């Protein structure tokens, strides 16, 4: 476990600086298969069928609700792309990485 999945998101209403490129690169190394592209933290999961895709989407929604930090999702029949950004600061925060780690942890259950 990276330790990130054990953390809780902190409310972010703005007024703090987004993570620097160096901080982003350090945190990316603690995740599995995520990328920083186009200003967002992103990963696409592939599934065997629609049912598995929707189960993942629902689990993502549950985690997002508990953390009060919500990604953009692009859902297809056998895949789901997740994109995190902390809109209040116009960049990435530790919250984005915490939620990404929690999604990765779903596959360790």
Q: Minimal CA–CA distance to 18: which of 2, 35, 41? A: 41
Domain assignment present for 10: no
Domain assignment present for 5: no
| pLDDT digits (tens), the chain, 109 positions | 449 999 999 888 778 899 999 999 999 999 999 999 999 999 999 999 999 999 999 999 999 999 999 999 999 999 999 999 999 999 999 999 999 999 999 988 6
Domain assignment present for 3: no
Domain assignment present for 66: yes
Domain assignment present for 6: no
| Under 8 Å between Cβ of 99 and 41 | no
Structure token pair of residue 77? 């029949």
Q: Minimal CA–CA distance to 100: which of 61, 80, 78, 71? A: 71
* Domain coverage including residue 101: 18-106
pTM of the full predicted structure? 0.93
Domain assignment present for 1: no
- Number of independent structural domains in the chain: 1
The pLDDT score that the predictor gives to residue 93 is 96
The CATH number assigned to the domain holding 41 equals 3.30.1360.20
Burial of 98 (0-12, 13-18, 19+ CB in 10 A): buried
């Amino acid at each position: 476990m990276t330790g990130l999945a054990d953390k809780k998101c902190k409310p972010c209403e703005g007024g703090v600086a987004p993570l620097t490129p160096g901080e982003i690169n350090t945190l990316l190394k603690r995740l599995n298969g995520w990328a920083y592209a186009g200003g967002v933290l992103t990963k696409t999961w592939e599934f065997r069928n629609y049912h598995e895709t929707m189960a993942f989407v629902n689990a993502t929604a549950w985690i997002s609700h508990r953390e009060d930090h919500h990604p953009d999702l692009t859902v297809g029949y056998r895949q789901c792309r997740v994109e995190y950004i902390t809109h209040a600061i116009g960049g990435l925060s530790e919250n984005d990485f915490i939620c990404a780690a929690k999604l990765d942890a779903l596959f360790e259950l």
